A and B are shown apart, each in its own frame.
Chain A
Amino acid sequence: MTPNNSSQPSQSASSKKVDHRGSLSSYQIYVLVVLSIIGAPLLNFPRFVATEAGADGVWLSVISGLLVTGFVFMVSKLCQRFTGQTFVQFIPEIFETKRMKWFGKGIASLIIIGFALYWMNQISFQVRLFSEATNTTLLPKTPIEVTIITLLLASTLASYSRPAVIGMLNELLFPIILIPFALQLYVVFKKGDWVHIFPLFQSDWKGLCKGILSNGLGFSGFEVLFLIMGYSQKVDHSSKVNTRAMLTAAILLSSTVIAQYFVFGVNALSKNLWSALDFYKEVRPELLVIERIEAFVLGIWVVIAFIAITNLQFVLVRTICEAFHVKEEQTKYVAWSLFPFFYGGAMVSENISDFFAKFQEHSYVGFIFSIVIPILLFLLAIIRRKRSSPKKKDQKGGENHHATST
C-alpha cells in the first residue's frame, strides 16, 4: 500500500555502495574550508598570539595567514594530481612500488592514523573550549558535562550525513557567522585605540619564528582539504578556490587579532582568558533589545562551534569509513562509536588552565605533523610522477545539483 521506494532517492541511495565524487561545488568547498578553520581560534587565538608573539603578533598573524595560504595552495595542487580521490586513496599510491605494494599501504596507514589522532585532539579541544565559554557566559550553573554532551550529540548526529548535506549545511550557515565580524568593526570604532598596537618589532629572530608558528596554529583546520577535495565537482579550479578560502579565513582571524590588540593592547590581552567575550562587553548598544551583546555573539558562536566540530567529525568519520571500506548505511555506527573518545578527550583536563596547556602542546605536534607530511607527499608525488589515471578523472555529477535523482 505504499509507493515503490525506487522512486525515492533518499531511501534507495543507502542500499548500495554510494559514490560521493562530485558531491561538493566549489562554493561549498570554499565555505567548508573557511568554517573548518575559524572555529575555536575565535575564542582563544588572539590571547594565544599575544602570549606567544607579544606586540608583533599583530603583523605576524598576517604573515602567518599568507604563509598558510601558500601552503594550502600546495595541498590543493597535490590533491589536484589525484582527481576524485581522497587522501586515504592517494597516499598509498604515492608510496607504493610495483614490488612492494604493502609498503605504500603501511606508510599510508601510519599517516592516516596520525591525521585521525590530530583531528580527534582538535575536536575534543574545540568541544571543551566552547563548552567552557558557554558555561562562563550563558549557563554558569549547568555542569560542563551537560554542555559537552549536548554539543557532541548534535555534531555527531550531523557528522554522518552525506557530503552533499554537509556542503549545504555549511553553505546555509556561512552568512550567519559573518555577523560577529561586522560587530567587531563597531567595537573597534567605539573603543579601539591605535596606540595599543605599539611598539612593534620587539622580537628577535627566534621570537619571530615562534610567533609565526603560534599564529599558524590558529589556521589549522585546512587539513580537511585532504578529504573533501575527493568530493569536489570542479577540481581544475580548486587551487584558486582553496586559496581564496584560506585567504578569507586568514583575513577574518587576523582582523579578530588586530581588533583585540586595538581594544585591549598586548598586556591586557595576554592576561585575559576570555578576551573574545570581554571584547564585546566593551560596548553596550543602547538601542537594542538585547542588553549584553557578548551573549548574542556567543549565540552565533554556538553555530560556529557546531559547524566547525561537525566538519572535523565528518572528515574523521569519512576517513575511517574509507580506510576500512565501511558501507554507507554503517557510517552512523562509526560516528557514534567515536563519541566516547571525544568526550573523554574533552574531559581529560581538570581545569581550564591545565586544559589549555595540554591541548596546545598536542596541537603544536599535530600542526607540525600536518605541515611536514603534505610537503613530503607533494615532493614525492612530483618526483615519482604520481597522478591519478585519466579514467578516475571523470567526475560523477554532484547529487545536490541535480534537479531530480530518481
Chain B
Amino acid sequence: MKMRKLRFLRDQKRKKILEQQSKNKVEERSENKGISKNLDENLDFLKNVFGNSTDIITRTFAMKTPDHSTGAVIYIDEMVNKDITHNYILRPLMQEEIQDQTDIWKNVVQKLIEAGEVKEITKMKEVINGILSGDTIFLLEGTTRALVIGTKGWTTRSVGEPRAESVVRGPREGLSETSTFSLAMIRHRMKDPDLRIQSFVIGERTQTAVSLLYVEGLTNEQIVETARNRLKDIKIDGILETGYLEEYLQDQTWTPFPQIQNTERPDSVVAHLLEGRVAILVDGSPHALIAPAVFTQFYNSPEDYYERYLISSFLRLIRLFSFAIALLLPAFYIAFVSFHPELIPDQLSIAMAAGRASVPFPSIVEALLMEGSIEVLREASIRLPGPIGPTIGIVGGLVIGTSAVQAGLVSPAIVIVVGMTTISSYANPSYNAAISIRLLRFPLMIAASILGLFGIMIALMLMILHMVQIRSFGVPYMTPFAPLRWGAVRDAIVRVPWKYMNARPSFLKPQDRYRQKNLSSEEAVKTGRDASNDTK
C-alpha cells in the first residue's frame, strides 16, 4: 500500500515536471501561433524564439509599392546560398516596382521572387522550421502569410576530416576554422530552436569571436552561468586557439588532467549539448571546447555511440586496459626488476636477468633512457612533414631500439615494455588526456625505483586523491564513480543499449532529464533512473 502510494506520488511528480518542460519548450509555444499582420510583432516573436542568436539575419526594408510597404527577409547566415538570397530575393524585392496596391502579395509570389522553391505558410512554427532548415523567409507588413523560399546551401568546401578523432563508422566532417561554418554544421545537425548561441568578443587586440552554445531548457542554468561568467572575466590581448580559453576556464590550474574536453567533430558537439553540456567555439580554431568534462569522458570515442553496444563496450574496456598499461607498465617493470623479481614466474625472471646481464645501468636509468627516446621520436614524427613522419617513427623504433639492445645499452625486455606503452598510449581517443598519462608515467617510474610496488601504490593513491579533488565547472571529476551515480555508470566503463540510456547524465543536473518524453513512467524508470534518486 505504501509502495503504491510512493509510486503514485513519483508519477505525479514526473508528470508535473514533464508538463512544465513542455510549457517551456519554444516549439510547443509556437505550435498553434499564426503569423500576425504586424511585422514588428512577428520579428519580435522570432527574436524571442531564437534568443538573439547572432547567426539569424533579419533584413527589414521598404518595398517600391505605392504605400512603401515594409517587408523582411530572415535567414541563417552561412546556411543559405547567399547568391540566391541576395540576387534573386532581396534585390527584386527592394528594387522592382509594384504598381498594383490591391494585391502586393500576389505580385511578390508571382513576379518578384525568382527562386524555384516557394511555399506559402501561415504558422510561426513553419517559419521557424524554414529558417532552421536553411530556407529564406519573407514576411510582409499587413499580411498573415509568409513565404518559405528554398535557398539551402551552406558552404562545405573547407570542411575536412577530423585528423585527431577519426572513426570507422560515423560522420567524416570536422569543424572549420570559420566559426560561422562550424555553427552552421552544428545547426545542420540540431534543428532545435532552443539551441542558443551567445557571442563574446575576447582579446583586446585580436577581437576574437567566441560562441557559447547550449540548449535552453535542457542545460543546467548554473553551468551556463558559470561558463558565461568565466568567459566574461577573461581579460587578455589575444585568443588564437581554444587552448588559450581552456586554461582560463578550467577550475584547477595545477594539474596534468584536462578538465575541459576538446573536439573537432560537430556530431560530438551536438551529442554533448544533448547531454546537458555547453560548447565553446572560437573563430580561427577548428576545435570546440566541451564542459563540464569528467574523467571517463576522455576515454569515450564518438564512435562508441554509433557502433553496437557490445562492440562499443568491448572497445571501451580495451581502452581502459591500454590506459593502465600506458601508465603503469614501465613502473611495474622497474619494480619487478629492482625489488621483486620473485613475484614474476621464475623462467621469466631468469630471462629478464639474462637480458640485463650486459646492461651497465640500473633499471630506472634504462627505462628513462628508452622512454625519453620514444618521447623525442614521437615529437619528431609529429613535427616532420607528412610522408617523413612515419618513417622516422619506424626508423627510430626498430633501428635504434635493436641497436641499443645489441650495444648492451638496454635490455630486450625494456624495448618490449616501451613499445607496448607507446602503442597503448595511442589507443586513447583524447590527445590531451593521453599526454597527461605520458607525463604521469615518469613520477610513477621514479616511485617504483625508490620503493618498488609499495612506491607505485602510494603514488597511485596520491594520484587518485588529486583526481577526486578536481572539479570541472563544479562537477566532481571522478563522477559517476565518486560521487556514485548509478544512472550515469551505464555509460562510463561500458555502454548499455540506447533504449536503456533514456536519462541524460544526472550529475550534469539537466533541466530536461529524459531523452524520450513519450515513455510511460514505468518504462522511464527501467530505461534511466530518476536523477533525484540517483545517489545510492
A-side residues, CB < 8 A to B, are 1-4, 7-10, 25-28, 134, 138-139, 142, 146-147, 150-151, 154, 157-158, 161, 165, 167-169, 171-173, 289-292, 295-296, 298-299, 302-303, 306-307, 400-406
Is the pair B452, A139 in contact by a Cβ cutoff of 8 Å?
yes
Check B469 for interface membership: any CB of A closer than 8 A: yes
Complex Cα distance, B249 from A26, in Å, reads: 32
Known: A3-B235, A404-B226, A406-B222. 20 other contacts (CB 8 A): A1-B235, A1-B236, A7-B230, A8-B251, A9-B471, A9-B474, A27-B484, A27-B535, A138-B339, A154-B462, A157-B465, A165-B469, A169-B482, A172-B481, A292-B342, A302-B454, A306-B458, A403-B220, A404-B474, A404-B475
Complex Cα distance, B461 from A307, in Å, reads: 9
B485 nearest CB neighbor, chain A only: A401
Contact partner of A138 (CB less than 8 A), chosen from B236, B249, B346, B453, is: B453
Minimum-distance CB pairs A-B, first 10: A404-B474, A403-B509, A168-B482, A3-B233, A404-B222, A302-B457, A172-B482, A4-B233, A168-B468, A171-B482
B-side residues, CB < 8 A to A, are 220, 222-223, 225-226, 229-230, 233-236, 248-249, 251-252, 292, 339-340, 342-346, 451-458, 461-462, 464-465, 468-469, 471, 473-476, 478, 481-484, 507-509, 535-536
Is the pair A138, B340 in contact by a Cβ cutoff of 8 Å?
yes
Given A168-B478, A172-B464, CB of A303 within 8 Å of CB of B457: yes
Q: Is the interface of A mostly helix, strand, loop or mixed?
A: helix
Complex Cα distance, B230 from A4, in Å, reads: 7
A302 nearest CB neighbor, chain B only: B457
A138 to chain B, nearest CB (A): 5
Is the pair A9, B251 in contact by a Cβ cutoff of 8 Å?
yes
A142 nearest CB neighbor, chain B only: B451
Complex Cα distance, B475 from A327, in Å, reads: 25
B507 to chain A, nearest CB (A): 7
Complex Cα distance, B233 from A405, in Å, reads: 17
Complex Cα distance, B264 from A156, in Å, reads: 42
A8 nearest CB neighbor, chain B only: B251
User: Could you give 21 example pairs across A and B, Cβ below 8 Å?
Assistant: A9-B474, A10-B469, A134-B454, A138-B339, A154-B462, A161-B465, A165-B469, A167-B483, A171-B482, A172-B478, A292-B342, A296-B343, A302-B458, A306-B458, A401-B483, A402-B474, A403-B292, A403-B473, A404-B220, A404-B226, A406-B226
Which residues of chain B have C-beta atoms less than 8 A from A402's C-beta? 222, 474, 509
B468 nearest CB neighbor, chain A only: A168
Is the pair A295, B340 in contact by a Cβ cutoff of 8 Å?
yes
Which residues of chain B have C-beta atoms less than 8 A from A168's C-beta? 468, 476, 478, 482-483
Which residues of chain B have C-beta atoms less than 8 A from A307's C-beta? 461
Complex Cα distance, B236 from A22, in Å, reads: 39
A135 to chain B, nearest CB (A): 9
A13 to chain B, nearest CB (A): 11
Is the pair A291, B461 in contact by a Cβ cutoff of 8 Å?
no
Given A3-B230, A139-B452, CB of A169 within 8 Å of CB of B468: yes
B217 to chain A, nearest CB (A): 16
Complex Cα distance, B506 from A403, in Å, reads: 9
Is the pair A404, B223 in contact by a Cβ cutoff of 8 Å?
yes
Complex Cα distance, B466 from A161, in Å, reads: 10
Contact partner of A150 (CB less than 8 A), chosen from B225, B454, B476, B482, is: B454
Is the pair B464, A173 in contact by a Cβ cutoff of 8 Å?
yes
Is the pair B483, A406 in contact by a Cβ cutoff of 8 Å?
no
Which residues of chain B have C-beta atoms less than 8 A from A303's C-beta? 457, 461
Contact partner of B229 (CB less than 8 A), chosen from A1, A7, A139, A150, is: A7
Is the pair B474, A25 in contact by a Cβ cutoff of 8 Å?
no
B250 nearest CB neighbor, chain A only: A8
Is the pair A10, B481 in contact by a Cβ cutoff of 8 Å?
no
A130 nearest CB neighbor, chain B only: B454
Is the pair A157, B462 in contact by a Cβ cutoff of 8 Å?
yes
Given A295-B340, A306-B458, A404-B473, CB of A139 within 8 Å of CB of B451: yes
Complex Cα distance, B226 from A172, in Å, reads: 27
Is the pair A171, B483 in contact by a Cβ cutoff of 8 Å?
yes
Complex Cα distance, B284 from A125, in Å, reads: 60
A401 to chain B, nearest CB (A): 6
Which residues of chain A have C-beta atoms less than 8 A from B474's C-beta? 9, 402-406
Is the pair B248, A3 in contact by a Cβ cutoff of 8 Å?
yes
Which residues of chain B have C-beta atoms less than 8 A from A4's C-beta? 229, 233
Complex Cα distance, B450 from A139, in Å, reads: 10
B433 to chain A, nearest CB (A): 18
A99 to chain B, nearest CB (A): 45
Complex Cα distance, B462 from A405, in Å, reads: 25
Complex Cα distance, B475 from A279, in Å, reads: 43
A339 to chain B, nearest CB (A): 16
Which residues of chain A have C-beta atoms less than 8 A from B468's C-beta? 165, 168-169, 172
Is the pair B225, A3 in contact by a Cβ cutoff of 8 Å?
no
Is the pair B475, A169 in contact by a Cβ cutoff of 8 Å?
no
A180 to chain B, nearest CB (A): 14
Q: Which residue, B236, B248, B484, has most C-beta atoms of chain A within 10 A?
A: B484
Which residues of chain A have C-beta atoms less than 8 A from B339's C-beta? 138-139
A368 to chain B, nearest CB (A): 33
Complex Cα distance, B346 from A168, in Å, reads: 40
Complex Cα distance, B449 from A139, in Å, reads: 12
B344 nearest CB neighbor, chain A only: A291
Complex Cα distance, B165 from A283, in Å, reads: 46
Given A2-B248, A9-B474, A142-B451, CB of A171 within 8 Å of CB of B343: no
Is the pair B223, A403 in contact by a Cβ cutoff of 8 Å?
yes
Is the pair B343, A292 in contact by a Cβ cutoff of 8 Å?
yes
Given A25-B535, A27-B484, CB of A299 within 8 Å of CB of B226: no
A135 nearest CB neighbor, chain B only: B454
A2 to chain B, nearest CB (A): 7
B252 to chain A, nearest CB (A): 6
